[in-house]
């Protein structure tokens, strides 16, 4: 393994004050409800508007949205929903006998109240709302509470708002940050308390989700964006460079990495990245992201490259190789896989249908991304009769005797003939 370009830093150096700041916000919202939320909105976002987005505001706001933009968002909602429905169809309840008098199974039950956090960010991301909200609606959630910062003319951007409405959000609030997470987790006079919170956000949102986990469920701690391109000698350096920079522009802390078996591809890609960056706005996060966290690594074989891919457990893994589909069976740690150089990550970011809320910072070792299954519970059940009672009762009685659990033994003994 040889570095053509090595990252200046790998770990994100967040302030130690973030944890305490978030804790203070959560405690304040728990204690003071709407008043605390409004104070933080004024302090952090310079917003003093009502926290709830009214039906009248929604109607007036959406009238300003061009029809061609609505068509784009409709397509995103439909495709994300269609993919989520296909995933849900793969989940089946069952019930079967596991011996005489022993019948067991499970049911698939939607989570009733979902909290969806939609980041404001530097740009209005049209797909973020549908990615978080539409799968919850497909899963069968009864209430979907959506929060997004009021950072566009004193409210939520019309395109983001339309995506939330079209995806099935039942309650929409123009609030952001840790105060939004706290509001959904504990409830306020205006904000309904939810059962699970999903969606990406900045470091304060991520930390808030971590702190409220247990009180509510969460999907995962996601972000900043990551991409790894795995390429052989047939890859096109300009396409690789474009794919790397597409993710690098999300955040200064984003990671963009090339693993390749070809020194020529490595060096040519570095030249292409340098050239393309000169055309980007000087304010683009891609400059800092590539400078400090971008990497290009040469490997001696496809196997070595795949081993590195599995070790990094990256969010987006994109294969630029002549036999990309043949490599899939050797890859198992990634948030989402993109097979072939034209299967661009940005298609998934926007509209293909797979979810773009994915595990980062090596979390792909133990979890996948947000999906319709994030919004359902698999609940087991059993019915024990006749001979099943005698068989399981005798076993439980004997095991409880060894364990010294008198109550367990009694509960079994009184059921044995």
Catalytic site positions = 315-316
Q: Tokens standing for 298? A: 């040469």
Dist CA 147 CA 58 (whole Å): 14
Q: Which residue has the tokens 């019309």?
A: 158
Buried b (16+ CB within 10 A) or exposed e, 47-74: bebebebeeebbeebeeeeeeeebebbe
Closest CA to 285 of 87, 123, 67: 123
Q: What span, in angstroms and rounded, lies between the C-alpha atoms of 8 and 288?
A: 11
- Contact of 316 with 228, CB cutoff 8 Å: yes
Residue 417 CB partners (closer than 8 Å, separation 6+)? 390
| CA distances in angstroms from 98 to 104, 107, 181, 379, 385, listed in the order given | 7, 17, 43, 17, 12
Asked if 185 contacts 215 with a C-beta cutoff of 8 angstroms, the reply is yes
Instruction: State how far the Cα of 23 lies from the Cα of 42, in Å rounded to an integer.
Output: 19
As beta bridge partners, residue 110 has 376
CA distance 223 to 300: 31
**Sequence-distant (≥ 6) Cβ neighbours of residue 66 within 8 angstroms:** none
Taking the C-alpha atoms of residue 307 and residue 1, their distance in angstroms, rounded to an integer, is 11
Check: CB of residue 207 under 8 Å from CB of residue 126: no
Beta bridge partners of 152: 155
């Amino acid at each position: 393994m040889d570095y053509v370009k090595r990252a200046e830093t790998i770990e994100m150096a967040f302030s130690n004050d973030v944890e305490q700041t978030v804790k203070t916000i959560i405690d304040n919202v728990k204690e003071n409800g709407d008043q605390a939320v409004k104070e933080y909105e004024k302090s952090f976002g310079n917003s003093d508007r009502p926290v709830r987005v009214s039906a009248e505001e929604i109607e007036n706001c959406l009238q300003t949205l061009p029809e061609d933009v609505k068509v784009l968002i409709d397509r995103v909602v439909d495709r994300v929903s269609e993919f989520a429905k296909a995933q849900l169809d793969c989940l089946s309840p069952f019930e079967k006998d596991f011996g005489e008098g022993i019948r067991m199974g499970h049911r698939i039950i939607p989570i009733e109240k979902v909290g969806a956090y939609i980041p404001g960010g530097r740009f209005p991301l049209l797909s973020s709302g549908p990615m978080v909200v539409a799968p919850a609606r497909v899963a069968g959630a009864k209430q979907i509470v959506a929060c997004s910062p009021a950072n566009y003319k004193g409210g939520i951007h019309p395109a983001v708002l339309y995506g939330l409405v079209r995806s099935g959000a039942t309650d929409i609030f123009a609030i952001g940050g840790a105060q939004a997470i706290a509001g959904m987790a504990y409830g306020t006079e205006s904000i309904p308390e939810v059962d699970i919170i999903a969606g990406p956000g900045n470091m304060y949102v991520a930390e808030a989700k971590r702190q409220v986990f247990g009180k509510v469920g969460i999907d995962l701690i996601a972000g900043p964006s990551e991409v790894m391109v795995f390429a052989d000698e047939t890859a096109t350096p300009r396409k690789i460079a474009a794919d790397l920079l597409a993710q690098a522009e999300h955040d200064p802390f984003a990671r963009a990495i090339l693993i390749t078996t070809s020194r020529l591809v490595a060096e040519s890609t570095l030249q292409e990245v340098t050239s393309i960056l000169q055309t980007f706005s000087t304010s683009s996060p891609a400059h800092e992201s590539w400078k400090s966290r971008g990497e290009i690594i040469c490997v001696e074989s496809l196997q070595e490259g795949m081993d590195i891919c599995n070790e990094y457990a990256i969010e987006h893994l994109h294969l630029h190789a002549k036999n990309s589909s043949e490599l899939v069976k050797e890859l198992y740690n990634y948030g989402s896989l993109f097979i072939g150089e034209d299967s661009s990550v940005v298609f998934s970011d926007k509209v293909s249908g797979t979810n773009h809320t994915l595990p980062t910072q090596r979390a792909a070792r133990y979890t996948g991304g947000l999906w319709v299954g994030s919004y359902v519970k698999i609940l087991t059940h059993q019915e024990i009769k006749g001979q099943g009672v005698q068989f399981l009762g005798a076993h439980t009685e004997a095991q409880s005797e060894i364990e010294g659990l008198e109550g367990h033994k009694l509960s079994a003994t009184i059921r044995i003939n």
